Amino acid sequence: MTKKGLSTKQKYQHILLIIVRTLIPVFAILFVTRFIYKYLNNKFPSDYGTEFWDNHIWFILHITGGSLVIILGSLQFSTFLRRKFMPYHRIAGKIYIWSSIISIFTLYIILQKCTNCEPGWTSKFFVGTLWLIFTLSAWWTVLHKNIKSHRQFMTRSFVCASYFVIVRILDTVGDTNILPFIKDPIVRYVDGDWLSWLVPLFIVEFYQSWWPAIYQPKLKKQTKKNLMPTKN
């Protein structure tokens, strides 16, 4: 269907997608720039140790890989870039995959070395593992020309990667402002850590899988009804 043939609802959805796809890379670049500048000025979290080769090197690799993932991943959602610059899309996709792998495995190392990560260890380990599974699944599906599944797995992968941005936003906003009804600070931190990636992943799964499964039978029924011959 052409854009001229879109219904009013579809036009609003199309406009919303354009806005989201524009804002995601803008916020990603601004956010990454802020934190890269901070860490380049040697302002590492105190619980990551003080030795460069034993501690900070893994954190730098993790942040560098994650930054490439956030910036390149946000641009990969652009339909314009996919259609007009396919060679760029493929190269950026390969960089995204390798950057994800680097960021994930350095996360595993950081979790072993971090002295203050125990409360959120399980959440970070699970989201990192899902990030790896979704990224490799995206690579496998595009290798077998399953473009629809590739896009869905890439979206899931990007959501898991975005968790590391969301938790830093929570640190800035303060979890007491988001979960004020939880009094215990450790419980509030752990719950906030899980919700930072479970809620976005749930929204994506609902949009990609649940809603089409609910809506498609209704759509097929309407189409079948419209195709039925009318009695004269």
Domain limits of the chain?
Answer: 46-212
pLDDT of residue 38: 64
Whether this prediction's pTM lies above 0.85 is answered by no
Token code pair at residue 51: 């030795």
Q: In terms of pLDDT, which residue wins out, 151 or 77?
A: 151
Distance between CA atoms of residues 143 and 126, nearest Å:
26
- Say what the pLDDT of residue 5 is: 55
- Give the pair of three-digit tokens for residue 116: 């203050």
Tell me what pLDDT residue 1 has.
46
pLDDT of residue 2: 45
Residues whose CB is less than 8 angstroms from the CB of residue 111 and which lie 6 or more positions away in sequence, other chains included: 117, 121, 124, 125
> pLDDT tens for residues 92-140?
889 999 999 999 999 998 888 776 777 788 999 999 999 999 999 999 9
pLDDT at 129: 95
Calpha distance 227→167 (Å, rounded): 51
Q: Where is pLDDT greater, at 80 or 92?
A: 92
CA distances from 178 to 194, 196, 200, 211 (A): 13, 11, 15, 28
| Distance from the first to the final alpha carbon of the chain | 30
**What is the rounded CA–CA span in Å between residue 113 and residue 103?**
15
Mean pLDDT of the chain: 77
Report how far apart, in Å, the C-alpha atoms of 135 and of each of 29, 49, 83 are.
21, 30, 22
